[in-house]
Structure 1
Amino acid sequence: MTVTDGGFDGFYEDMRMNIKSLALGAALGLGAAGAAHAATFTAFDLQPTSTVSLFSPETFSLEYDTTGWASIDSATLYLTLGDDGDRLPEAAVSYVSGNGSASVFLTTPISTFTGYSLGSVLDLVALGGTSLTGTVFGVGDFLYGGATLVLEYTPEFTPIPEASELWMLAAGLLAVGGIAVKRRSLGQV
């Protein structure tokens, strides 16, 4: 192979660009490895089926622990309700409080037990909070079977490179070292 003047310079310029690309790819890969993924936490307050009415309300408390959470992305409250079999229409009213705020929800039970979504209660839960409490009562009487709180949160994280990415980084460093040795043996600095 005949190398014309400047041929090695072009070769090394290509190698420098490849090394820069490899280093950038390794840095991006290491950063992506530490990215946090959303997780779900569910709190249950299941109770034996009870009959609830305006004069015999049922209370619930849903406990959660936000230690290690970076944020709470969504919070949905469900009540398990059902018609007690009589022919009267019933409506359930739920009073829920947490994080210094309160909300009142209205829903209508149906003939079989169903987990009714009361919608978002994100304004009632917060990092550092520990519980969401509520009372279920209604017009008429109906069956109540418990409450469920579903929280989607982002965990706190510390980027930890995975083994495959460390191998890529090591290979890149070896390539850089090999090029330096090759350049030194050719008399280039």
Structure 2
Amino acid sequence: MRKNLGALFLTAAVAHAGAAAADTIVYYAETGSGGARQDVDVTLVSPSTRNISIAYDSSLWASINSATLTMLLGDDGGDGPNEFADVAAIEGVDPMVNPEQVVGAATKDYWAIDVSDKLLPPNHLTPLMFTLQAVSGDFDYRNAVLTVDFTPVPEPATTALLGSGLLVAGLALRRRAS
């Protein structure tokens, strides 16, 4: 009886450890209209905007721990020191992101925006879409990356391992009772 219970707890612990491990995946901006890649330098001049989308596969995760949209901007070395960009909308909702000042030809400025509440649950095919707006000056948009830290959907093998352990324990207890 003790051996059977020990086997049951060991099986449950292994299955739980396999199912609870967090994982991280990175998605990059897609190719834009007209074949222009969105992960290389694209110059934006005020007051222009650029719609950007990032496709993601939500069928991989059971739950999201965090999701961050990171964008890289760089000064093109042209106009004066007060060049600003803003993320005007994410999925049609104003995220109230403060404008980012883009300064210095050799510097790189990042946004890191929490978008956990903007991602859709599994089996939805809508990409994360947002609008980058040049508020003043001109600058280079370099890339956008979506990083998702998630708890994966349990693997069938893990579930089978737990189920077989419970079945063996149940059979052993039933045999013992009779």
The alignment's TM-score, normalised by the length of structure 1, stands at 0.65
- Partners of 1:19 and 1:155 lie apart in 2 by 31
Partner of 1:26: 10
Residue segments in structure 1 that go unaligned for 5+ positions in a row: 1-15, 181-189
| 8 Å CA contact 2:54, 2:127 repeated in 1 | yes
| 8 Å CA contact 1:95, 1:134 repeated in 2 | yes
Q: What's the offset of the Cα at 1:90?
A: 0.9
Partner of 2:43: 51
Partner of 1:71: 63
Partner of 1:118: 112
Partner of 1:81: 73
With over 3 angstroms needed to count, the CA separation of the structure-2 counterparts of 1:30 and 1:43, relative to structure 1, is closer
Q: Which amino acid aligns with 1:108?
A: Q
- Partners of 1:82 and 1:94 lie apart in 2 by 15
Partner of 1:148: 145
Identity %: 30
- Partners of 1:113 and 1:96 lie apart in 2 by 25
2:127 pairs with one of 125, 128, 131: 131
Give the superposed CA RMSD.
3.2
Residue segments in structure 2 that go unaligned for 5+ positions in a row: 30-37
| 8 Å CA contact 2:90, 2:131 repeated in 1 | no
- Partners of 1:129 and 1:73 lie apart in 2 by 20
- Partners of 1:33 and 1:50 lie apart in 2 by 44
Q: Which amino acid aligns with 2:128?
A: L
The alignment's TM-score, normalised by the length of structure 2, stands at 0.68
Q: What's the offset of the Cα at 1:109?
A: 1.7
Q: What's the offset of the Cα at 1:52?
A: 1.2
Q: Which amino acid aligns with 1:133?
A: M
Runs of 4+ aligned structure 1 residues displaced above 4 Å come to: none
- Partners of 2:148 and 2:45 lie apart in 1 by 29
